[in-house]
Structure 1
Amino acid sequence: MIIKCPECGHQVSDKAPVCPSCGVEIAGHLIKCSNCGELYFKSEETCPNCHSTEQFHNVGSQNSGSEDVEESEVQYQPSPIEEFVSREDEQDDYEPEMLNSYAQQADMEEIPESEAEPAEQQNKNHVQLLVSFIIALAICGVLFYFYKQKDGDTTEPEAFEYTMKNASPGILEQFLEDYPDAPAAHTKAVKIQLAAMKQKNDERRKILQSTSRAEIIAFLKSNPSSEYKHELETKLDEMDWAEAVKGNSEESFLAYKQRQPNGTHNGEADEKLKVLLVHTASQADKTKAVEAVRKLLRGINTKNGAQIAEAVAPSFNFLGSAGATAASVEKYSRDKLYQADVKTVNWFLGEGADVTTEKNDDGTAEQHLNIPARLEINRQGGLSRKNYQIKAVVRNGKIVSINWTMRSK
């Protein structure tokens, strides 16, 4: 049992030979007053508190006399481990060797020799016991602190010192709950610390949930040593990569590499760029491919056979038919477009041509073009408009394949 030394008031085990603070003898030298419960030395004839002369029982001693001794007077002999736990309340510092010695002694007492395990297994068990015991002591220390608070054994100054030294929202709030009448300065300090920690947690939650790249960058600039720096830099990396993938272009992946020179997705960006650079058409190739299609449609609009022939290869694929020529296009125009009631036919190319470059087996390059278009036919009964999607393959500035399909819009 933990008692207060009658001499100096220091907390000490009633089984301790002497008080570790003042050195006065404890075990077997104390008496508990039956009238008021005060502990005092046997050498004193009366209780220093109520001056009663009746002795209740000795504290910290063993009774070895009559078998009729009251059960409350029989002293329990602690095991080495229990004695160590008791001593832990008397002093904060202890030697690891002492703990190991107690643990080993306890093991030796509890395991019968006939059931003893091999030496290697015993050593392993001792280590596991030691680690478990140390963890248990740490947990018990925290629980004991709150237990003492609850029972009123810890003074407010001690509680305040512990709270400020081990500040966390839970401990700070517990202090305010346990000590509503604490000095104003202590209460104010605890509340300021608690508000600061809550504000810090709110800022952390807000910035970690932010989806604004500019906001995160601004935070990192103003807080270069923030504990969230690595977490936020990782988040920026993922945001920039998602944007690059969404763009799926040479420009978007190059922009990622520029923003994140040490980004975790740089290897993937390089692989994407290899594919894109192989299939990406130069601006000159794009212009040449679009111009070939435009020239063909202009020749259809004006019924100009020479212009049609200039736009297409001598033999090409026209609307799914292989081996077509410029004459095939003229025949299609007469039969399908310029009917008896048609006044004019006009093809218009739209914006946003998608042009890629592909390499043939013989090493020659060709441009694959995908572009929207609109066909307007002015008939005697009125004007009709239809939207198409044109797909064409251009090699050396000549159309080698072209087809168009109607779009809903």
Structure 2
Amino acid sequence: MAIIKCPECGHEISDKAPFCPSCGVPIAGKVVSESTETVDSKDDGIEQCTNNENVQPSHNNKIIIGVVLAIVALVVGIGCYFYFSIQSDKELQAYNFAMASKDSQVLQSYLDQYPNAPEEHLDSIQAHLDILKKADFDWTNALISNSKSALEQYVTSHPDSPYKAIAMHKIDSIDWGIAQQNNTVEAFELYLEQHSEGEHVDEANRMISSINSRTIQPEDRLMISSIFNGFFKSLSDKDEDALTSFVNPLLANFLGKPNATKSDVVTFMHKIYKSDVKSMRWQLLDDYAINKKEVGAQQTEYAVTFSAIQTVVSQDNNTNEVKYKISAKLNNDGRIYDFNMIKLVE
């Protein structure tokens, strides 16, 4: 039982009363308990409130999830941008490095590592690689042939080849070997003409100097001929001063006498002019055999052999001819310091 208010007069009565004692309006079974309605109404409110609370969080979650997904997508997008940007920079750096390289392995490595690179990059690298491979092939052939002409052709065809220095070294070595084999001034001068900055320039100049120091030049022969013609003319003229001007103050040997002096030479001249000699003439046959060698810094020695005919006219006008083989040595000053004569028997 519950106490309710009469819907007609508002008098408080039991919900079990058959009618309102105040106004007579039927009550029992006719009027819904206010408390029940209130309770039901409250229950509906609670349920609605509960439903509203359940719905509201679901909507908010969708918004949050959407925002999170958007942020994730943005982060992923930015990450992808930077990744591909970095990859692009790496590819460009690798491309520039490969194009500047003369190593075929570097170019092949680029092609293997960046198969999806821009087509123009791939084409340029491949073309560059083909050139290097051709150069490598030509170098192998030139190297095997070891021919100067093949090496020169290789350098001409591939001026930027990494093997150019080796090729030039081999060409230099070939020309130097030819110069050494010929061993002449002309051969070494040709080497210097072909390789003004070659590896053997200093040695070539030394060889030229050495050969010249041993080679009898026309001026050497003229000087030697002049000295001995003057020496024997002085003998013929019995000119002591002229005679001694052609000999060294101290001679290592003069006609078998060691450490001879100018006075020994004068004594020899007077000795050959015997009392029955009316005149004497010496004729040099100009058959000089000359050996030239260096004996010190810019010091040259000449060893000379030649023939001379002595013609003696006696006081009774008889003529006698004797042939001599003469060997002598001249020092760097052009003075005789060693002298021997042997009579030739015919």
Structure index of larger Rg: 2
Interval of TM-score (by shorter of Structure 1 and Structure 2):
0.3 to 0.5
What TM-score do the two structures reach when normalised by structure 1?
A: 0.32
Higher helix share: 2
What TM-score do the two structures reach when normalised by structure 2?
A: 0.38
